[in-house]
Chains A and B, each alone.
Chain A
């Protein structure tokens, strides 16, 4: 699903964000990416969703060389990946239903199909009761579930989560990871960047650790125990 080969990323200001990173993530995997601030986690995500291109090396997602993707093809590419952010990024003037439907509207899906899919997604994220609520009327955990709902609305093969539990208490964080596990069970590959070592220890997955742009460890599922 994801293939990085000798990837380097140097920003214009000279910051060396990734150094010779090589890794493979298979379809259906659930992978944590951990590391301190400035370790290159955000750059890794930006390379995967096409926001940045590598200075050197190959970034391939689902067989597509993202670094060589033409500017005009990026939107089409993004329809096959979902991204979840720490700060939710919901549209405050739209209801829960509309926020999820929005992801399908912008790619011009028919109304009936949108209705059907949003209903399914609401069940997955367990928010059928909050369809007409606005984001400001929801708790942090609920908002993050809506964000996840929006990210999976288009049935992406890859879901990238950038610190999805960063703003949540431990209980809500557990709910989010459990939700991601359920989504993963349906076949979606999940890459989750996190700082939360309690979660990493509780829900043991393959864990890639970045440090100063290098992969310093890549532990198989269950093999990594973080210092909390």
Chain B
């Protein structure tokens, strides 16, 4: 078993050195692809973080009609909770609403203390929703519940911003997937040329009774190894490049409103992801091309 593995590794390394030019071009293509994947993954990770922060801050204020009696509040709350897309509902009575109103004005808010005696504000539900991008749709659904008189979610700007972030995230996933497929194609083509160059050797191996798996394994190891070499620069860039960026911006965007993913563990997770992609690309790429070759002749 170990003897066999040893031979396969030896063959794989010999393969790389014998076709050095090919190996270098393959590694360069891989490095370029993974750098793009690294950049996009770092972007997606941070966009996800920012979206989550924004979504956590988004609350819908729902005013309760004055005719709703106090003992019916729980029933009404239950109805709002049942609206699709609602995560949680918190009840706020008149006094709490006034507190919040006064707080909103800071020091000047004390002026409104006079309303304590005769509070004109409505009771309200503070609703948290599941996805920020569906805020207006959920708000419309809440507004249809009887006993409520107004829904306020802060306008469509936030919703649009979240939608843009989500589009970036989804687009990023698509591009990462496309790049991965492209890299598989590139590496499988490179390995195919390597195999073509070793046509004679493979023919002899087949003639003396080498099994397909025996022939295939050195190529697959070679593919994985090329993938891993190609991942070195992208991994280092992910860790040190991101760290430098994080330190430059002090981990924050837009004067501290939005925070970036911390270097540890995020950059290391991205690195592990890159290594995984490199291994998968190397494996799949070489497997496909060597299998194609092995199918051609008996």
Contacts and interface: CB of A to CB of B under 8 A. Distances in A.
A108 B4 contact: yes
Contact of B3 (A49, A72, A83, A110): A110
Interface in A97-112: 102-103, 105-108, 110-111
B205 A106 contact: yes
B214 to A, nearest CB: 6
A72 B208 contact: no
A50 B298 contact: yes
B203 interface: yes
Contact of B298 (A71, A106, A111, A154): A71
A105 B14 CA distance: 16
Interface stretch (A74-82, A169-177, A184-192, A218-226): A74-82
Given A52-B298, A91-B204, A93-B18, A111 B3 contact: yes
B7 A105 contact: yes
A150 B208 contact: yes
B208 A78 contact: yes
B207 interface: yes
B212 interface: yes
A106 B209 contact: yes
Nearest to A76: B209
Nearest to B11: A105
Contacts of B208: 78-79, 102-103, 106-107, 150-151, 153-154
Nearest to B4: A108
Interface string B142-171: 000000000000000000000000000000
B200 A106 contact: no
B201 interface: yes
Please tell me the size bucket of the interface on A: 20 to 34
B210 A106 contact: yes
B7 A78 contact: no
Nearest to A153: B208
A89 interface: yes
Given A105-B7, A108-B3, A110-B3, A89 B204 contact: yes
Contact of A75 (B200, B204, B210): B210
B211 interface: yes
- The winner among B3, B203, B211 for most chain A CB atoms within 10 A is B211
Q: Chain B interface mostly helix, strand, loop or mixed?
A: helix
Interface string B163-204: 000000000000000000000000000000000000011011
A50 B209 CA distance: 11
Contacts of B203: 89
B77 interface: no
Contacts of A102: 204-205, 208
Contacts of A77: 209
Contacts of A49: 207
A103 B201 CA distance: 11
A91 B209 contact: no
Contact of A89 (B3, B4, B200, B211): B200
A52 B298 CA distance: 8
Interface in A107-163: 107-108, 110-111, 150-151, 153-154
A51 interface: yes
B298 A74 contact: yes
A79 B197 CA distance: 25
Nearest to B294: A71
Contact of B211 (A52, A75, A150): A75
Nearest to B204: A89
B221 to A, nearest CB: 16
A137 B7 CA distance: 26
Interface in B1-51: 3-4, 7, 18
Given A102-B208, A154-B208, 10 more contacts: A49-B207, A75-B209, A75-B211, A75-B214, A76-B209, A89-B204, A89-B207, A91-B200, A106-B210, A153-B208
15 contacts: A49-B207, A51-B297, A74-B298, A75-B211, A75-B212, A77-B209, A78-B208, A78-B209, A79-B208, A79-B209, A91-B204, A103-B209, A107-B210, A108-B7, A154-B208
| In the complex, the 3 A-B pairs of residues with the closest C-beta atoms, listed nearest first | A79-B209, A106-B210, A78-B209
